[in-house]
Amino acid sequence: MLKIKDEGIILEKTNLEFENKAVLNPACFQVYDITHIFYRAVNL
């Protein structure tokens, strides 16, 4: 069984130009004690 933990908002606003319009489709995975997150960002 997979245990799911609600972490709430995990991405915060940044000053990175490529994320100006939207950040979407996050995917997370954990390797040992490190959690990695991949996402799409939009700057139109």
* Percentage of residues in the chain having pLDDT higher than 70: 100
Q: Is residue 37 over pLDDT 80?
A: yes
Name residues whose C-beta falls within 8 Å of residue 35's C-beta, 6 or more positions apart in sequence: 28, 29
Across all residues in the chain, what is the average pLDDT?
83
pLDDT band at 31 (very low <50, low <70, confident <90, very high): very high
Would you say residue 25 has pLDDT above 80?
A: yes
pLDDT at 29 over 80: yes
Beta bridge partners of 34: 31
Mean pLDDT within 15-31:
85
Which of 21, 16, 15 is CA-nearest to residue 44? 21
User: What pLDDT sits at residue 4?
Assistant: 81
Strand, coil or helix: what is 19? Answer: helix
